[in-house]
Structure 1
Amino acid sequence: MKFQVKTILFIVVASFFMTTNLCAQTIQQTTNGLNFSAQEMDIKIEFYAEHTVRVYKTPKGKPYQKNSLSVVGIPKKTQLTYLTKGDRTIVKSNAVQVEVNVETGGISFYDIAGNKLLKDKDYGTQFSPINDAGTPSYKVRNGFLLDKDEAIYGVGQVLDNKFNRRNSSHHMQNENMSTYSPYFLSVKGYAVFWDNYSISQFNDNPQELSFEGLGHCSDYYFMYGQNADGVISKVRELTGKAPMLPLWAYGFFQSKERYHNQDESLNVLKKYRDLRVPLDVVIQDWRYWPEYNKSDSAWNSQSFDKERFPDPKKWVDEIHKLNAKLLIVTWPGFGPHTAQRKEFDEKKMIINFDTWPPNSGARPYDVFNPKALDIYWRYLNKGIFNYIGNDGWWLDSTEPDHINFKPSDFDLPTYLGSYRSVKNGYSLMHNKGIATNQRAVNDKKRGVILTRSGFIGQQLYGSNTWSGDVNSTWEMLEKQIPAALNYTLMGIPNWNSDIGGFFAGRWRKDGGNKNPEFQELYVRWMQFGAFSPMMRSHGTDLPREIWNFGDRGSWCFDAQEKFIKLRYSLLPYIYSTSWDVSNNHGTFMRPLIMDFVDDKKTHEIGNEYLFGRSILVAPVTKYKTNQWPVYLPKGSKWYNFWTDEYVEGGQTIHTNAPIDVVPLYIKAGSIIPIGPDVQYSTEKKWDNLTIRIYVGADGEFSLYEDENDNYNYEKGIYSIIKFKWDDTKKILTIEDREGSFPTMLKSRKFNFTLIGGNKSAMGNKLKKSATLLYTGKNTKLKF
């Protein structure tokens, strides 16, 4: 009661004058937070929304105007209450309260009930003056205090086979196979994004968690979402929502390093069609451009060699006639023999270090210069996009590669300062330039970008990051899974890897593609790829097209075909998940902590995940394994996808996993649509879907459909059919169809299958089925 009185008194006084004196320190109340000075710093607390707080610190008396590369959200008007509590000042929204100590500079974050979430340490921020390539700057460090047993995730794609990032240290420098952002997410339902693009250091030990980098400010965003889904929604509200990719982007991609001419890739596509193995995309890797004097001086000229690609427009037209799409590679570096390089050199828009390939003289352009982004696109559009009408981009080396490295290279100037001060934002800006310029010239085709690096905010540009040029080993396959899960917990939903691993030369002995261990590794990796946001086969040393592993009827061919076809049968589920990702800030690859955080065993499990909200995937990552341990989280009942066997959650089981089976378990209450047998994603309409209902809990699913490849969905041109399962009454409700689009099915057949079991009859299956002609009107079915 005394505290409430003091609160009221403070508000009355604050209405009379806007500052109060505590411990000889001055706090200024603002419309969206607080300003104060402590420990020779000026500190600004700014509520961006009820759940999101920006903390901005600069050396005292040295203001700095920060322009974020990642943050696109703007502060929303937020109702705040200002309180005093002894020598502390508190500002609170309806979701978060922030307590500041104006003597020590400490900042504590609490939920609305008063439970402490995070402490920005007393005396925990330092600005150490440093000379950055001739410009006065600072080494900036910000420390935080976490609970002793608090698990955290994020930080980036780190290939160390670890999931929980506690007690780890990382040199945050984006390179091939290493993709970092200064961010962590806690099991307590909050995250911190330290908005800094310099080469940085993340360190967590029992004393503190800290970020350290280069800059003129310490600028971070505290986001409280109550759970991981809530956090990711706040990340995307701050840094950009993820657009929908076209339906074809969820089909199967075939690539290699490299197809040497236009006939080679076209013949690969024709052979897939002849074999009737589904395929949606072929990718053209490097050196399709002229090779002057057989050197790389014309590297990345964004033009076509006339001998090997005599009619590139016809080439792409033929690909399209076969109902497939083309992605084509483009790099950030240019050889000295290119027109792009000459223009960039003239306008001082080159960062003068050597990039890939070695000894070519290729150098990267300055992505931090807005005019350079436009120039890059002008050449790319004229030489490729507007010329041949390709369907997407493969942006390789977006860190970028650094050849003949010298420490002084980090001193090189960019439009925004030294290269070291902005390096980690390179991929973000490169992707932004291409995505935004493409949309400006053609908004009828959704942007699709495959990129080798990333940074928070890159989800806004339709980018799908792959894990880099990884080795073809069992150990590397195992490392992909927790790396992917930590990456997606940063709010970037699209991720993939080279199926089979990129460097496969070690398998050339004993048969290459016919080497039994490589075949098994490739199939296991493909099983993982089938449950990744992009399913893409690629690599060097050994070709990866399906027929190179044997003929139909051989176990390796058949196992691959099985999972490619499984991927296509799940397209209605995957595309609906894509809508959930875009519209509801959802996630494709969901670590178990997202749905089962109360089960503490999930806090350390990074080798299995939910794909969408229903399918638990436990990829096999060991050679000659016929059984695989799978932890099924408590709080749900589960069904073996292959056998329909019913299992209670909260236990580890050892399930059969022969080479053509990956452990998949379906959460009770799930409703999963199964699509038709097709050779490409849009071959058949979804007019005769099988709908599987896994009993044991209430559930719902929204079947999403649109025109498949344009931005009309942003204007509301799409349809949703909601299915709701009442497990007690055994009633399925198919609600009135919401929305419409010109090519929408007016009626269709749904074939329902109930899959069920119970505790007293563990393993027994009860199936019931029904068929319904659905015309868009609310319908109930009782089973």
Structure 2
Amino acid sequence: MPKLRTLFALFCCSIPFAVSAQKASYKKTEQGISLTFKNAIGTIDQHMAIDFIRDGIVHVRSIPLLHSVKASEQLAITDTLRSKPGELLVEETNDHVYVKSKAINLAVSLYTGQINFLNPSGDTILCETPRNTQTFAPSAANGDAFYRIKQAFQVSEQEGLYGLGQHQNGIMNYQGKQVTLLQYNTDVAVPMLLSTKNYGLLWNNYSITKAGDTRALLPLSGLTLYAKDDQEGWLSASYLNKADEKEVFAIRAESDIAYNDLTDIPKFPQGVDLSKSLVRYEGRFSSPFSGLHRLHFKYAGYIKVWIDGKLLQDRWRESWNAGSFELELTTEANKKHAIRIDWKPEGAQSYLEINWQRPILKSDQRIFGFDSEAGDGVDYYFIQGSNMDQVISGYRTLTGKAPIMPKWVFGYWQSRERYKTQAEILDVAKEFRKRRIPIDNLVLDWSYWPEKDWGGQNFDTARFPHAAEMISQLHQDHFKLMISTWPKVNEESTVFNQFMKNGWLYRRNIADGRKDWIGKGYTSTFYDPFNADARRGFWELLNEKLYKKGVDAFWMDASEPDIHSNISVQERKDVFQPSIGSSTRYYNAFPLQNAKGIYEGQRAEDPNKRIFMLTRSGFTGQQRYAAATWSGDISSTWNDMKDQIAAGINFSMSGLPYWTMDVGGFLVEKRYYNPNTANQEEWRELNSRWYQFGAFVPIFRAHGQFPFREPFNIAPEGHPAYNSMVYYIQLRYRLLPYLYSLAGKTYHDDYSMLRGLAMDFTNDPKTYEINDQFMLGSSLLVNPVTKKGASSRPVYLPSGFTWYDLYTGESYKGGQQIEAEAPFERIPVFVKSGSILPIDPLRQYTDEKIKGATTLYIFEGKNADLTLYEDDGLSYNYEKGIFNRIQIKYDNQTKTLTLSERKGKYEAAPKTRKFNIILVDQQQPSGIDRQVKPDASVTYTGKNMNIKLTNN
């Protein structure tokens, strides 16, 4: 009999009903149970299927009994799920049926269908809220009938909640927050939630979805507003000349600030040139509610926000690519707060929208919900593990493993917007080699094609007269070339008629005649990757025009798809017309299908050459297609740099391990185009700090608009900025054995390289909210500097460990916050006690054979374990077992290091390896910038070795 406390673990999981209430009928199935509710008092009529995929993974489906709709295509979940759970025990009480596996138990109410997920001891892990009349709301779009789907869960106050893709709000822990899962330039929708209670929820839905606190945002007019002269009902809006604020263009009352997209432009005062304006909103506001309020801002241009005289935000975004942020304010009901907003739009098309969330009712504070625009039913996977890595492993069981990227991917990449000619790119390659700055990959951004041939994938022979020879020359100089390819086709391109005739293109944008921003402007559209023939046709085009010329990797830009950045979401849906159903149902899945076509095409063309692609958007399962994602067209600002930390970590904690960003930021303020001395030095400092951060993410790639982004174009040799950028590029290559071993672990063990602190220090709740520190692997604690002029920064050192400065070896006790030194040329990086960190001699490219020994730094205080991984770095032979592992262990008590026998089938590995071994402890600090004599030097021949260590 289940424990009594199980039935009443949470109030939401125990709802009494009269004895005469209609109970569900249920039956045991091969993998779980199915239930049917009809005329039940406690819930809606529904059919439920609960299937155990394996002991720790449960698939839950609920669909209405009447008015069934077409089932959604299965895109994210792999079709190779053949595993069966262990023995399942099914038991019934008066009001529940229990389904038990070795890992988790389910208590399912026979009156409501509500599921309580329990651990084997009977404690609640997570509990559904009951489905009701709002769960399934009939709807339709483009002749596609579906339901709007809502499902909520009861979570505990203490847990941290992460994942959900990549978002630009700086939020780390989504407990109590709202996030919209909507593919957009800089935002990536991945409906996977990860909890510090070691479970995950994979919401199996492709439509635009609100997650977390799903209540509708309220307009600003929901608050009581007061003008500058204290009249009630609005704020005072002054449209001033930004060059001379004494000149007033217009003054008016505004109670809602909602300039969200192009259709809202006419709302601005007629005759006012926004590009010349400073819009100042002034007044006060109060709320009818007490508690925590959130103000949500969407903005473009310059914006400053003061509340009660305190400057809370000072930001900039390019006009065509709006950004967002949130402000929190705890207030008492009817208390007035002064507000001032200074907004400087850029251009006639500018955007500013402000909404707010009222405080959450106490009864709703532990609710986390999903609200999706379209689906055929409630459909999610509950994944349980003993830690968060096991949960992510469960996610990849469902959606596919992450292949090992080619080794060159883990070097340094150089890009800019853009190399305009063949000569430019070859000159940059030559300069890197001349200066001996390590590098592996050069990136050719868009518009290498003739202007009107966007989508034809042809090089403009006037600027790239010998593209194949150019690529061959780069290969001879040990460079790879990645090239930008868009899923977009111009009406005047060389392939438009073929693609249109075959039915491979979305037609609405052509019918609307909407033009892009290149040259005279061209009418264009996107191909349909939901059509298998279109996917094959698109790959064949890339193959013939680019891959066969020697291109090494594809950069899949605008893969949201980005029809136009500032049209409304509904207009984007109208243009995006998948062949398998409505855009409303499949909105978020475009990048997944786009990546699928490239991966399958290239794998068939060149079966044993590892694939790599970079995409601007991602979705559930995209990791299986060798796709990394970058954070889109972010701005070159200190705020945007900081926001990338939480954005990248949460993306990784969504189960997709390979993430990067435009190091240096893409969009640039005009003050940096022709800078004065102060602006030039800030530009150099900003880029230095960003390079320092970028060296520790899975892919290290500098990119952006003018000014040029090569280190030698940012600062002259000898400048601290130049010294720092080169130092961290070199450090990246010295860390290659660590990085590539993490890549091997990512595939073989379903690991995550980029890690939120809560993943490794779940027992330390102080780590749950930290949004500006992260772990690279299990050893390196990375702490980017994101404030101009900073020479130190606060760093929290998680409890339970001693922490060593990477550069000097100085030690600090965990469980405390310190003010860490951060001189211009360094960011604070600490190594956890019980770590073994391999550091190689310097290379100029990843496949260069090193001369000299690998140094193994042993950070004393706990037992340590490292598995060095090696394979050929280029092929898929590792899938056939052709790889090696060398397990290295350190016994902290006996001070003995063990190099185990090499295991594996990769016979091309070096037969011998030299290791210098340095024991770092509190009595003898040593780091990568503080050289000491090795405690031991050995030649490893692949046989087991034990080395007794004593400090010199």
CA shift for structure 1 position 356: 8.4
Matched residue, 1:681: 846
- Asked whether the equivalents of residues 353 and 402 of structure 1 are also in contact (C-alpha less than 8 Å), the reply is no
Matched residue, 2:231: none
Instruction: Work out the CA distance in 1 between the residues paired with 2:800 and 2:48.
Output: 43
Matched residue, 1:399: 560
Q: How does 1:147-186 map to 2 (within 5 A)?
A: 147-186=156-195
DSSP-derived class of the 1:621 partner: coil
Instruction: Work out the CA distance in 2 between the residues paired with 1:497 and 1:515.
Output: 22
Instruction: Work out the CA distance in 2 between the residues paired with 1:102 and 1:686.
Output: 69
Matched residue, 2:711: 546
Instruction: Work out the CA distance in 1 between the residues paired with 2:615 and 2:63.
Output: 34
Matched residue, 1:350: 505
Q: Does 1:85 align with 2:93?
A: yes
Letter in 2 for 1:74: L
Letter in 1 for 2:370: F
Letter in 1 for 2:88: L
CA shift for structure 1 position 123: 2.8
2:141 to 132, 140, 143: 132
Instruction: Work out the CA distance in 1 between the residues paired with 2:850 and 2:603.
Output: 28
Matched residue, 2:440: 280
**Structure 2 length-normalised TM:** 0.77
Q: How does 1:697-712 map to 2 (within 5 A)?
A: 697-712=862-877
Q: Does 1:249 align with 2:257?
A: no
Matched residue, 1:212: 371
CA shift for structure 1 position 332: 0.6
Q: Does 1:771 align with 2:937?
A: yes
**Structure 1 length-normalised TM:** 0.94
Q: For 1:623-663, what per-residue CA distance to the aligned partner results, in whole angstroms no more than 9, with x for missing partners?
A: 11111111110011110111101111100111111011111
Letter in 2 for 1:190: Y
Matched residue, 1:373: 535
Q: CA RMSD in A?
A: 2.2
Q: 1:150 to 1:266 in 2, by over 3 A?
A: same
Instruction: Work out the CA distance in 2 between the residues paired with 1:665 and 1:767.
Output: 21
Q: Does 1:480 align with 2:644?
A: yes
Instruction: Work out the CA distance in 1 between the residues paired with 2:703 and 2:571.
Output: 35
2:47 to 30, 42, 47: 42
CA shift for structure 1 position 765: 12
Matched residue, 2:794: 629
Question: Where is the helix percentage greater, Structure 1 or Structure 2?
Answer: 1
Q: For 1:645-695, what per-residue CA distance to the aligned partner results, in whole angstroms no more than 9, with x for missing partners?
A: 111110011111101111110011111111121111111247621111111
Instruction: Work out the CA distance in 2 between the residues paired with 1:719 and 1:75.
Output: 29
Q: Does 1:561 align with 2:722?
A: no
Instruction: Work out the CA distance in 2 between the residues paired with 1:633 and 1:719.
Output: 33
DSSP-derived class of the 2:545 partner: helix
Letter in 1 for 2:48: I
Letter in 1 for 2:709: R
Q: 1:549 to 1:511 in 2, by over 3 A?
A: farther
Q: Does 1:467 align with 2:631?
A: yes
CA shift for structure 1 position 238: 0.8
Matched residue, 2:599: 435
Q: How does 1:514-553 map to 2 (within 5 A)?
A: 515-553=680-718
DSSP-derived class of the 1:470 partner: coil
Structure 1 consecutive aligned stretches of length 4 or more whose deviation exceeds 6 Å: 1-4, 758-761, 764-767
Q: For 1:69-107, what per-residue CA distance to the aligned partner results, in whole angstroms no more than 9, with x for missing partners?
A: 111151522121101233100111110111111211211
Instruction: Work out the CA distance in 1 between the residues paired with 2:851 and 2:389.
Output: 30
Letter in 2 for 1:96: I
Instruction: Work out the CA distance in 2 between the residues paired with 1:332 and 1:411.
Output: 17
DSSP-derived class of the 2:453 partner: coil
Letter in 2 for 1:630: V
Tell me the number of residue pairs that the alignment of Structure 1 and Structure 2 aligns: 759
Q: 1:498 to 1:765 in 2, by over 3 A?
A: closer
DSSP-derived class of the 1:485 partner: helix
CA shift for structure 1 position 131: 2.4
Matched residue, 1:659: 824
Instruction: Work out the CA distance in 1 between the residues paired with 2:678 and 2:454.
Output: 31
CA shift for structure 1 position 149: 3.0
- Asked whether the equivalents of residues 332 and 398 of structure 1 are also in contact (C-alpha less than 8 Å), the reply is yes
Q: Does 1:67 align with 2:73?
A: yes
- Asked whether the equivalents of residues 47 and 64 of structure 2 are also in contact (C-alpha less than 8 Å), the reply is yes
- Asked whether the equivalents of residues 37 and 102 of structure 1 are also in contact (C-alpha less than 8 Å), the reply is no
- Asked whether the equivalents of residues 757 and 765 of structure 1 are also in contact (C-alpha less than 8 Å), the reply is no
Matched residue, 1:322: 477
Larger-Rg structure: 2
Q: Which runs of 5+ in 1 are unaligned?
A: 5-20, 292-296
- Asked whether the equivalents of residues 157 and 366 of structure 2 are also in contact (C-alpha less than 8 Å), the reply is no
| Structure 1 stretch displaced more, 195-204 or 324-333 | 195-204
CA shift for structure 1 position 459: 0.8
Instruction: Work out the CA distance in 2 between the residues paired with 1:113 and 1:172.
Output: 35
Instruction: Work out the CA distance in 2 between the residues paired with 1:327 and 1:514.
Output: 32
CA shift for structure 1 position 347: 2.4
- Asked whether the equivalents of residues 114 and 128 of structure 2 are also in contact (C-alpha less than 8 Å), the reply is yes
- Asked whether the equivalents of residues 673 and 690 of structure 1 are also in contact (C-alpha less than 8 Å), the reply is yes
Matched residue, 2:495: 340
- Asked whether the equivalents of residues 431 and 463 of structure 1 are also in contact (C-alpha less than 8 Å), the reply is yes
Letter in 1 for 2:706: D
- Asked whether the equivalents of residues 184 and 490 of structure 1 are also in contact (C-alpha less than 8 Å), the reply is yes
Instruction: Work out the CA distance in 1 between the residues paired with 2:711 and 2:24.
Output: 70
Letter in 2 for 1:36: L
DSSP-derived class of the 2:686 partner: helix
| Structure 1 stretch displaced more, 502-511 or 648-657 | 502-511
Instruction: Work out the CA distance in 2 between the residues paired with 1:645 and 1:510.
Output: 39
Q: For 1:605-630, what per-residue CA distance to the aligned partner results, in whole angstroms no more than 9, with x for missing partners?
A: 12111101101101111111111111
| Structure 1 stretch displaced more, 507-516 or 29-38 | 507-516
Q: How does 1:137-148 map to 2 (within 5 A)?
A: 137-148=146-157
- Asked whether the equivalents of residues 843 and 850 of structure 2 are also in contact (C-alpha less than 8 Å), the reply is no
Instruction: Work out the CA distance in 1 between the residues paired with 2:785 and 2:204.
Output: 37
Instruction: Work out the CA distance in 2 between the residues paired with 1:508 and 1:282.
Output: 23
Q: 1:280 to 1:599 in 2, by over 3 A?
A: same
